[in-house]
Chains A and B, each alone.
Chain A
């Protein structure tokens, strides 16, 4: 009998137990330990409720996130945009609004938000093409961010400096945007809708 066959014959219950314990231990490390190691959590300057604002405005997301005349997208509104509704004294009684008015609005300082969906420098994304031409809803890629009461924790990849949303918060690669906002997600949708998916369509 060779050593190889001996090994196969003598696998005891303890061996299996050790295997299962090791498997579970390292899986857990991979699922919870690695992200904690890879992603740094960065605080937003102050809390912001999309829900409260959505109740106040008439045109939904477009009320604050609008297009410029040349077709470019304003993205996160400037402090001037906030001034259209906010005055120099807080309208509500939340400490967040007080911080905003005192630290940013009255000083004319832009808020240094951490942007969840900020794309790498090599990516060209056109909001006009998706929201106007294709008529997609904001939710399609941004999920229910517009109805959220709180800003979730912003996670930044320590190696690349990109937001975790770009790689995807789901390790198994499951779910739709914003849980995954990878190139594959873009390409899948492009293919499914007969839109060209060549590199130069979205890369620059």
Chain B
């Protein structure tokens, strides 16, 4: 199926291509994201069940002993699933408060923190662990409230948060376009992690716009999505040429070959 036809009607479908072969696992995207989106440092950041990282880098290896060991990294933002028929984003369909929705124009899954009741159904529904619950009020030591980003509201204890593809940057880009009378160009709207990645592993843009680099890259047969057979129909593509990395992206049976198994 062609890239644009995978998604329902709508002007844009913002998405990413993350090149795993380029990712060094430095964590620059995670830091940039935390800084951009006012994600604070909790009292105990070693508690990874309760710490918050909208953009999280997962490390995988091929399981072989030295010297055949190989390591790869999966940076994981929110994947902004659309579902198989346009409106079946896993987290959106379970939210009892309509605190999260799927924008038919941009394909971005929103998270409205002032509407969230903290039931955490969405956390359980998300197959990618992209959603985080605020178990604590983030401590902002004196002075650290000053570098907060005014375009992103800080969260309180008891609500769920997640990556929004830096939606505030899209709003900002639209402002500029309104004033100039033009359109939002590819480089006007880029996420913080994309900008921060030192090896250029992340490409961001509109998957429905054939002129955007991300739309060209995502069509490559080397690109795939995480747990594609769940039918989440998400918009974050990963790219690798290494077969063992490709195998880790889904739960393949021994006799199945990645790429030859049809997505449901």
Contact = CB atoms under 8 A, between A and B. Distances in A.
**Chains A and B form a bound pair:** yes
Interface of A: 67, 69-72, 121-122, 124, 126, 128-129, 132-133, 196, 198-200, 203-204
Contact of B179 (A132, A199, A200): A132
Contacts of B176: 70-71, 128
8 contacts: A71-B176, A71-B177, A128-B175, A198-B103, A199-B98, A199-B99, A200-B101, A200-B112
A159 to B, nearest CB: 16
The dominant DSSP class at the B interface is loop
Given A121-B153, A204-B168, A129 B114 contact: no
A133 B113 CA distance: 28
Given A199-B110, A203-B112, A72 B103 contact: no
Interface of B: 98-99, 101, 103, 105, 108, 110, 112-115, 151-154, 164, 167-168, 171-172, 174-180
Contacts of B115: 199, 203
A204 B152 contact: yes
Contact of B171 (A126, A132, A196, A199): A126
A129 B179 CA distance: 8
Q: Is the interface of A mostly helix, strand, loop or mixed?
A: loop
A198 B172 CA distance: 18
B154 A121 contact: yes
A70 B110 contact: no
Given A200-B103, A204-B167, A72 B154 contact: no
Contact of B114 (A69, A72, A196, A203): A203
Nearest to B110: A200
A72 B154 CA distance: 21
Given A121-B154, A124-B168, A204-B153, A199 B112 contact: yes
